[in-house]
Structure 1
Amino acid sequence: MFIKPEEQRTRERVLAVVSEHGPVTASEVGRLLGLTPAAVRRHLDTLADQSAVTEHDPTTGTRGRGRPARAYVVSDTGHGSLPTDYEGLATEALRYLAAAGGDEAVRDFARERMSGLEQRYAGRLADAGHEPAARVDALVEAMSEDGFAASARPVGSGSLAGIQLCQGHCPVGHVAEQFPAFCDAETDAISRLLGVHVQRLATLAGGAHVCTTFVPRTPQPPGTPRLSTSLNQVTPTHEGAPR
Structure 2
Amino acid sequence: MKNAAALSRLQPAVAPAAGQSASVADLSTRDRVTQLLLERGATTAGQLGSALGLSPAAIRRHLDAMLADGDVLARDQTIRGHRGRGRPAKVFVLTDAARGRCGTHHYDNMATAALRWIARNGGSTAVEAFATDQVAALETRCQAAMEDAGDDPLARAEALAGALTAEGYAANASTIASGGQLCQHHCPVAHVAAEFPQLCEAETAVISRLVGTHVQRLATIAHGDGVCTTHIPTQPRRVQSAKTVTTVRTDR
Q: Which of the numbers 128, 146, 149 marks the counterpart of 2:170?
A: 149
Runs of 4+ in 1 over 4 A off after TM superposition: none
Are the counterparts in 1 of residues 194 and 223 from structure 2 also a CA contact under 8 Å?
A: yes
Are the counterparts in 1 of residues 154 and 180 from structure 2 also a CA contact under 8 Å?
A: yes
Q: Give, in whole Å, the separation in 2 of the partners of 1:218 and 1:126.
A: 20
Q: Which of the numbers 184, 192, 205 marks the counterpart of 2:222?
A: 205
Q: Give, in whole Å, the separation in 1 of the partners of 2:228 and 2:102.
A: 28
Q: Give, in whole Å, the separation in 2 of the partners of 1:173 and 1:200.
A: 15
Q: How big is each residue's C-alpha offset from its partner over 1:73-112, in whole Å with a ceiling of 9 and x where there is no partner?
A: xxxxxxxx99241101111111011101111111000000
Query: Judging changes above 3 Å, is the alpha-carbon distance between structure 1 residues 109 and 127 closer, same or farther for their aligned structure 2 residues?
Result: same
Q: How big is each residue's C-alpha offset from its partner over 1:150-194, in whole Å with a ceiling of 9 and x where there is no partner?
A: 0111112xxxx2111101110000000000000000011110111
Q: Give, in whole Å, the separation in 2 of the partners of 1:195 and 1:144.
A: 19
Deviation at 1:128, TM superposition (A): 1.2
Query: Judging changes above 3 Å, is the alpha-carbon distance between structure 1 residues 190 and 216 closer, same or farther for their aligned structure 2 residues?
Result: same
- 2:140 is equivalent to residue 131 of structure 1: no
Pairs within 5 Å for 1:1-243: 83-84=103-104, 85-156=106-177, 161-219=178-236
Are the counterparts in 2 of residues 197 and 220 from structure 1 also a CA contact under 8 Å?
A: no
Which residue identity is paired with 1:166?
C
Q: Give, in whole Å, the separation in 2 of the partners of 1:83 and 1:149.
A: 22
Deviation at 1:138, TM superposition (A): 1.0
Which residue identity is paired with 2:109?
G
Count residues in correspondence. Answer: 144
Q: Give, in whole Å, the separation in 2 of the partners of 1:113 and 1:167.
A: 18
Q: Partner of 2:226: helix, strand, or coil?
A: coil
User: RMSD in angstroms over aligned alpha carbons?
Assistant: 2.7
Q: Partner of 1:102: helix, strand, or coil?
A: helix
Are the counterparts in 2 of residues 166 and 213 from structure 1 also a CA contact under 8 Å?
A: yes
Q: How big is each residue's C-alpha offset from its partner over 1:4-36, in whole Å with a ceiling of 9 and x where there is no partner?
A: xxxxxxxxxxxxxxxxxxxxxxxxxxxxxxxxx
Q: Partner of 2:209: helix, strand, or coil?
A: helix
Query: Judging changes above 3 Å, is the alpha-carbon distance between structure 1 residues 155 and 179 closer, same or farther for their aligned structure 2 residues?
Result: same
Q: Normalising by the residue count of structure 1, what TM-score does the alignment of the two structures yield?
A: 0.54
Deviation at 1:227, TM superposition (A): 9.5
Which residue identity is paired with 1:97?
I
Deviation at 1:133, TM superposition (A): 2.4
Q: Give, in whole Å, the separation in 2 of the partners of 1:95 and 1:103.
A: 10
Task: Please identify the structure whose Cα radius of gyration is greater.
Answer: 1
Are the counterparts in 2 of residues 197 and 219 from structure 1 also a CA contact under 8 Å?
A: no
Query: Judging changes above 3 Å, is the alpha-carbon distance between structure 1 residues 227 and 181 closer, same or farther for their aligned structure 2 residues?
Result: closer
Structure 2: runs of 5 or more not aligned = 1-100
Who is 2:80 aligned against?
A: none
Q: How big is each residue's C-alpha offset from its partner over 1:44-66, in whole Å with a ceiling of 9 and x where there is no partner?
A: xxxxxxxxxxxxxxxxxxxxxxx
